Amino acid sequence: MPAGGGAGAMPDAPFGRMLTAMVTPMTADGAVDYQGAASLAEYLVGDMRNDGLVLSGTTGESPTTTDAEKDRLLRAVIEAVGERAAVLAGVGTNDTAHTCELARQAERAGAAGLLVVTPYYSKPPQTGLAAHFTRVADATGLPVMLYDIPGRTGTPIATETLVSLGSHPRIVAVKDAKGDALASSWVLARTDLAYYCGDDPLNLPWLAIGAAGFVSVHGHLVGDRLHEMIDAYAAGDVRTALAIHRELLPVYTGMTRAQGVVTTKAALAMLGRPGGPVRLPLADATPAQIEQLREDLTAGGVKLR
């Protein structure tokens, strides 16, 4: 038996195990940098060992990109890496009809799947959430990953709602950023939904309760090491997986000192990779934030320019 004991068989992972929620690179004047997006996708798949990419999520600044920009971005990344990685489109909004239209647009562009966040701000009841997700899943033939992040949306997807939605043939996965191990464990015990950890500091603990993999922001910088963590855990080498988790603690700390898109784009600049500025109402990292982030990333073993 490998050092650390056996972790048991890993659950099925319909989109691969290591995915990064990709930023949307921008040019200096704030336009979407489609060539930069293709280049960043190549880096994430080739160097950072990502099995998949998620575009136009919150990390992709979806609230401030247009439908046309989302479509062109998706097509550029699929052309660059679509034969080597699953490219998912974030289509979630707080308008069901608009979400369905974005879903159909993503299907036409060739997306491998859809990420659908809980409708935000309006705080719908659970019956409304179930109807929303069902309507979106019925709008295309693509598999759907639900995104449960109540800290951003204001509304959790209740356990019973997730169990019910798990019976839909195209709702196959959950990106879980709720941070409730008990609730997630109950869903995992009662459905075949594949869980992807959506909160990087919890990546290893979520493997222990049955996660299939990660949808990571820190994968921009340490996707290869996160993939090593998954590989070690899957092989039963929990000791090595834990060692990687602890080595990455300074990265987790540094990347969460400020808003995630802000720190990610600042970090990409340190790597010489496409990222560019953020769009308002976000604001680029300050010199002090950049210096602190550089110290944190260096302590976590990230090789910067």
Catalytic residue list: 147, 175
Residue 215 DSSP SS3: strand
CB 233 within 8 A of CB 13: no
Q: What is the largest CA-CA distance in the chain?
A: 55
- CA-closest candidate to residue 44, choices 212, 271, 270: 271
Element (H, E) at 268: helix 260-271
Between CA 198 and CA 165 the distance in angstroms is: 19
What's the CA gap between 224 and 110, in Å, rounded? 26
Give helix then strand counts, H and E, for the chain.
Answer: 13, 8
C-alpha neighbours within 13 Å on the C-beta side of residue 137 = 20
Long-range contacts (CB closer than 8 Å, 24 or more residues apart) made by 166-170: 166/190, 166/191, 166/192, 166/193, 167/191, 168/133, 168/134, 168/137, 168/144, 170/137, 170/138, 170/140, 170/141, 170/142, 170/143, 170/144
CB 303 within 8 A of CB 267: no
Do residues 119 and 94 touch, judged by C-beta distance below 8 A? yes
Peptide bond preceding 281: is omega within 30 degrees of 0, i.e. cis?
A: yes
**Which one-letter amino acid corresponds to residue 93?**
T
Residue 97's contacts (CB-CB under 8 Å, 6 or more residues apart) are none
